[in-house]
Every structure is written in structure tokens, then in C-alpha cells.
Amino acid sequence: MKTLSHCGKTIGVIFALSTEADPFVARLTQVTETRATSVTILEGSLGDRRVACVVSGIGIKAATHAASMLIDGHRVGLLISAGFCGGVDPAIPRGAVVLPTRVTRDGAPSLLLDWANESSDSDCALTRQLLFSRITNAFVACDTIETVDRAMCTLEEKRTLAAGGAHVVDMETWAVADLAHRQGIGCISIRVVSDCAGQPLSPEVLQLGKPQSSFHRFGLAIRMITRRPRMAADLWNLWEHAVIDSRALSKAIEAACSLLPTPRTSSLPTSLGH
């Protein structure tokens, strides 16, 4: 098995939303805060590994900027695009942890998602098997994540993406992977399916996910419930799922980080018993 080039380097994790990031950030110790252009980077220790996290905001442009800030200032050896995603393959249930092998984007080249630029297919397959063996939440095999420019709300939109070969969909992974490939850095995507293929999304609910203060988000929720009282139950379920999904995401990222080499080791673990 080949040695991974990010041995001893910082692992960079890019989230779109603070809701996705909070449980994982809470696991870090000895945290320092760096304010970069329009983003705040938190760097800390996760066991004997150094991890730098950033909440980028939603979309290609925001994710590219945040990933650039991590690379420029934090000796990053691996980028992880982490967060929630939408399911477009009916076989993938809500709440599943997915680790795609490639990312696509309309009009752009498909990019492989692997742990290091020089790693082989067998290395990546073993690492995914090791990771899945350490995740207590449900997981499913997932080949392709499609990065899109806007949320896919309707069932028809999801079916169209599935017909094109996508299994799940997000709005950031391609941007992170593209920058990582150009910089010669490994990149993976760890996602939790927040809505399955048969679940349409309300445009109103999507407004709650946009970057805004807690005060404005609360006010928006109150206005939504005032207009449609039955939405109270939907919003409660949405919040409950977000809590569960963000915890599952945190466990998956932590499991991934535990598989990576440290300054004292030079290769990935070679068996499921480690």
C-alpha cells in the first residue's frame, strides 16, 4: 500500500453551514481562531491529529474561497467536503452516511474523490471499508455526488439527476475537489442524506438554511408558522433531523480522521482490527 502524502499535515474540513459543523467542532481541543477574508477558521486537535474547520456558506463560490483560505494558511494535506446532501437515488435512505467516489458537475469534468493524489483504487477501497466499519450510523455505497448551483426541490428535478447517474446531490463538493486536484491535495466528501429521493423540499424551509443570524432565522420561522400553522410540526422534524444528522456527520468525520497517518506512522491501517 502506498504512503499518503498528507502524513503529519493538517486535515481541512469545509462545511457549508454551522448546523453541520457544530458537533464536530465541539470535539476539538486546544482550538485557535483565525479570521480570514469573510470566513473564520478554527484549528484544533482531534486526538493526535491537527484539524482546521471552516464554515464557508452555501455554493461553489463560497466553498472555493473557504478551501483556498485553508490551503493558504494551514499546511493542509487533505480536504474534506462535509455536510448534508440530498438523495436522488431511491435506494439511499434519509440519514445514511455516504462517501462518494467521484463528483460531477454539469459542464465540468468528473473528479475522483480519494485520500491522496497518488493512492490507488485498492487503497481507496480499503480505506472506505475501514471507515464504514467504524461508523455506527447507517451507511450505503455511493458512487457519484453531483454538485449543483441551486437546491433541487422537486421530485422531477431529483429524478432527472438520478437518470444522469447521480446518487446524491450537494452544492459544494465539486468546488473543493477541483481546488484540491489543482493543488495536488487529497480530497474526500463525507455527507449525510438529509432528504431522500422521494421527499420534495419546500422553498420556504430552504430559506432557513441560508446564512443569517439566529434572530432572523427565528423570526422567519415564526412568520412561516403564522402563515401555515401546520408547518410547526414540519419545522420541528426538520430541526430534530438536523441534530441527529449533524451528530452522525461528526462521528463519520472523526472516524475518517482516525484512519489517516500521523507524524509517527507512514501508512494507513492494514486491517479492520486496528
Domain membership flag for residue 4: no
Structural domain count, the chain: 1
Q: 187 and 178 in contact (C-beta within 8 Å)?
A: no
- Our separate counts of H helices and E strands in the chain read 8, 11
Q: What is the pLDDT of residue 271?
A: 40
pLDDT average, residue stretch 131-149: 77
Domain membership flag for residue 273: no
At 224, list the grid cell: 412561516
Return d(Cα 270, Cα 93) in angstroms, integer: 30
Domain membership flag for residue 267: no
Burial 120-136 (b: 16+ CB within 10 A, else e): eeebbebbbebbbeebe
Give the domain CATH number at 209.
3.40.50.1580
- Does 250 have pLDDT greater than 70? yes
The helix (H) or strand (E) run that includes residue 21 is: helix 18-25
**What letter represents residue 32's amino acid?**
T
Domain membership flag for residue 128: yes
Domain membership flag for residue 69: yes
Q: What is the pLDDT of residue 258?
A: 82
Q: What is the pLDDT of residue 157?
A: 92
Domain membership flag for residue 26: yes
Average pLDDT of every residue of the chain: 80
Q: 201 and 194 in contact (C-beta within 8 Å)?
A: no
Cell 428535478 appears where?
Answer: 157
pLDDT average, residue stretch 180-197: 92
| Residue 210: domain span | 10-259
Domain membership flag for residue 129: yes
- Does 240 have pLDDT greater than 90? no
Beta pairing, strands 97-98 & 76-87: unpaired
Q: What is the pLDDT of residue 142?
A: 86
Return d(Cα 259, Cα 274) in angstroms, integer: 9
Q: What is the pTM of this model?
A: 0.81
Domain membership flag for residue 266: no
Cell 468546488 appears where?
Answer: 175
